Amino acid sequence: MICLDTNAVIAAINQRKPRVRRRLEQALVDRVIIGIPAVVLYEIWYGIRKRSAPERPSDPTIFLSPHKRAGGARS
Q: What is the pLDDT of residue 74?
A: 47
Q: Which long-range contacts (CB under 8 A, 24 or more apart) does 70-74 make?
A: 74/31
State yes or no: pLDDT of 66 exceeds 60: no
Instruction: Label residue 70 left, alpha or beta by phi (over 0 means left) and psi (-120 to 50 means alpha).
Output: left
Contact 69, 61 (CB under 8 A): yes
Residue ranges of the domains in the chain? 2-62
**Coil, strand or helix at 51:** coil
pTM of the model: 0.60
pLDDT at 56 over 80: no
